[in-house]
Amino acid sequence: MKYLGKKSLIALIVVLLLGSLATWQLTRRQGKDAVYRTAELKRGDLLVSISATGTVEPEEVIDVGAQVAGRIVSFGTDAKGKTVDYGSVVEAGMVLARIDDSLYAADVAQAEAQLLSSKAGLQKATADLSQAEGNWQRARKLGPSEALAQSSYEGYESAYKIALAQVAVSEAAIKQAEAALARVRRNLSYCTITSPVKGIIIDRRVNTGQTVVASLNAPSLFLLAKDLTRIQVWVAVNEADIGKIHPGQPVSFTVDAFPGETFRGEVGKIRLNASMTQNVVTYTVEISTDNADGRLLPYLTANIQFQLQKMSNVLQAPNAALRWSPPAKEGAGESRGGKGKDGTGLGKGPVSAQVPANIKATGILWVLDENQKPRRIEVETGTSDGANTVVEGVDLREGMQVITGIRPADSGNGKEEGANPFTPKLGRGKAGGGH
């Protein structure tokens, strides 16, 4: 009997708990009317744009390399008399670095000696030619006779021609020695690295004592920007948007280095050598901008806005309002969405961001009537910037509150609607005392 009493008690407790839960659910569903979130119709400017990310690049960059191998022995001085380093301003022809030239100076000395030897050889060949020519002249006067044998006559003639050829060989040797000397002198001059243009050093890639090796490719020593007052932004634009980009198009962009500040520029050119990454084709667009104050530094990340269309003084509705519709239980189960294909996709999911609409479509906005119930208003929709859409309608006016969402109202008993009644409440003593 005692065991059956415990089972009955447990069953009674379970029934009471289930009843309490059912009562809570019913009370929750029969609470006050929902409270609607609203937003205001505003009139103002609307800008349709394409967003992209790019990199700030110098307009013209020169990679200064070394044409000879050797050890860096010293750096030159910049326009301020300081050792060339990052950010140094240099003039054209100014010394940037020097490579150990001892081997190349030895090559020059050897080539100079070879040239002197070749010139001495020419002098000897000229003297031999003079002697051979005299002998040949005398032999011609005598001719083959009893006084001059035929073999001797032919020998003088041959000697003269050999001497003549030797002079030509000596002259060629001199030209060869002169060319070799010019080459080694040029290599010696390459040991002094000079700036090809006036500019600023962006990167110094070697240190004193470091050995550079010039083989098939010239090693890079310095990266020189010609003019940082004119700078570019290189942007990778998706193939789906590249048709909307054209030279001269206005562009605005921001950089994280200067938050809250907007820079202006325009499209310079569109490079035709597209690249593909993970089956996505992109084109590089060059944006030109003025950097007279030198604030924009090379290789900053830029957030770009290509301006496609700008509308002034138009009435705009939040896209959330055009997407919203009342729950079916309120008798507002009409089909949402526009009648035209304008790219906004109103009523069929999120509005497509930043796409101009050339064809107007219809949409639906909901406002609260005098009984605080949703009332439907049909409107014409136009251009969207991704957050707001241009709307037109006879019943629309600036400042009108349109519904963008719904949230449950409080039950009025000080408790949040939908709270679990079985959750313990801490620190809830009665005023004036407690148990």
Q: Does the pLDDT value for residue 91 go beyond 50?
A: yes
Determine the structural domain holding residue 255 and report its residue range: 51-57+227-310
**pLDDT computed for residue 358 by the predictor:** 53
Place of tokens 């744009």: 49
pLDDT per residue over 255-291, tens digit each? 999 998 999 999 999 999 999 988 999 999 999 999 9
**pLDDT computed for residue 111 by the predictor:** 95
**pLDDT computed for residue 6 by the predictor:** 65
Q: Does the pLDDT value for residue 417 go beyond 50?
A: no
Average pLDDT, the chain: 81
Q: Where residue 93 sits, what CATH number does that domain have?
A: 2.40.50.100
On whether both 206 and 65 belong to a single domain, the answer is yes
Q: Is residue 10 part of a domain?
A: no
On whether both 255 and 341 belong to a single domain, the answer is no
Would you list the DSSP string of 93-152? T-EEEEE--HHHHHHHHHHHHHHHHHHHHHHHHHHHHHHHHHHHHHHHHH-SSSSS-HHH
Q: Is residue 84 part of a domain?
A: yes
Q: Does the pLDDT value for residue 99 go beyond 90?
A: yes
On whether both 268 and 215 belong to a single domain, the answer is no
Q: Is residue 244 part of a domain?
A: yes
Q: How confident is the model at residue 34 (pLDDT cuts 50, 70, 90)?
A: low
What are the backbone dihedrals phi and psi of residue 427, each rounded to the nearest 5 degrees, phi first? 70, 30
The mean pLDDT value for 207-233 works out to 86
Closest by CA to 325, choosing from 376, 273, 251, is 376
On whether both 386 and 238 belong to a single domain, the answer is no
On whether both 384 and 348 belong to a single domain, the answer is yes
The mean pLDDT value for 119-140 works out to 87
The mean pLDDT value for 60-88 works out to 90
Q: Where residue 239 sits, what CATH number does that domain have?
A: 2.40.30.170
Residue 309 or residue 92, greater confidence:
92
Q: Does the pLDDT value for residue 408 go beyond 70?
A: no
On whether both 305 and 320 belong to a single domain, the answer is no
Percent of the chain with pLDDT over 90: 37
Q: How confident is the model at residue 22 (pLDDT cuts 50, 70, 90)?
A: low
On whether both 117 and 155 belong to a single domain, the answer is yes
User: How many domains are contained in the chain?
Assistant: 4
Q: Is residue 247 part of a domain?
A: yes
Residue 381 or residue 31, greater confidence:
381
Q: Is residue 414 part of a domain?
A: no
Q: Where residue 137 sits, what CATH number does that domain have?
A: 1.10.287
On whether both 203 and 82 belong to a single domain, the answer is yes
Among 164, 185, 206, residue at a domain's last position:
185
On whether both 248 and 116 belong to a single domain, the answer is no
**pLDDT computed for residue 282 by the predictor:** 93
Q: Is residue 201 part of a domain?
A: yes
Torsion angle, alpha carbons of 346, 352, 353, 356, to 10: -80
**pLDDT computed for residue 170 by the predictor:** 93
pLDDT per residue over 195-213, tens digit each? 998 889 999 999 999 998 8
The mean pLDDT value for 379-398 works out to 85
Q: How confident is the model at residue 148 (pLDDT cuts 50, 70, 90)?
A: confident
Out of 5-19, 54-68, 75-89, least confident range = 5-19
On whether both 85 and 206 belong to a single domain, the answer is yes
**pLDDT computed for residue 341 by the predictor:** 38
**pLDDT computed for residue 256 by the predictor:** 93
Residue 295 or residue 370, greater confidence:
295
Q: How confident is the model at residue 330 (pLDDT cuts 50, 70, 90)?
A: low
pLDDT per residue over 344-359, tens digit each? 334 333 333 444 445 5
Among 262, 282, 310, residue at a domain's last position:
310
**pLDDT computed for residue 428 by the predictor:** 41
Percent of the chain with pLDDT over 70: 80
Helix (H, G, I), strand (E, B) or coil at 42: strand
Place of tokens 């310095």: 222
> What is the three-state SS of the chain?
CHHHHHHHHHHHHHHHHHHHHHHHHHHHHCCCCCEEEEEECEEEEEEEEEEEEEEEEECCEEEEECCCCEEEEEECECCCCCECCCCCEECCCCEEEEECCHHHHHHHHHHHHHHHHHHHHHHHHHHHHHHHHHHHHHHHHHCCCCCCCHHHHHHHHHHHHHHHHHHHHHHHHHHHHHHHHHHHHHHHHCCEEECCCCEEEEEECCCCCCEECCCCCCCEEEEEECCCCEEEEEEEEECCCHHHCCCCCEEEEEECCCCCCCEEEEEEEECCCCEEECCEEEEEEEEEEECCCCCCCCCCEEEEEEEEEEEEEEEEEEHHHHHCCCCHHHCCCCCCCCCCCCCCCCCCCCCCCCECCCCCEEEEEEEECCCCCEEEEEEEEEEECCCEEEEECCCCCCCCEEEEEEECCCCCCCCCCCCCCCCCCCCCCCCCCCC
**pLDDT computed for residue 109 by the predictor:** 95
On whether both 207 and 334 belong to a single domain, the answer is no
Q: Is residue 114 part of a domain?
A: yes
**pLDDT computed for residue 308 by the predictor:** 85
Contact 301, 55 (CB under 8 A): yes
On whether both 132 and 277 belong to a single domain, the answer is no
Q: Is residue 107 part of a domain?
A: yes
Out of 58-72, 177-191, 356-370, least confident range = 356-370
Q: How confident is the model at residue 169 (pLDDT cuts 50, 70, 90)?
A: very high
Out of 101-105, 194-198, 363-367, 416-420, least confident range = 416-420
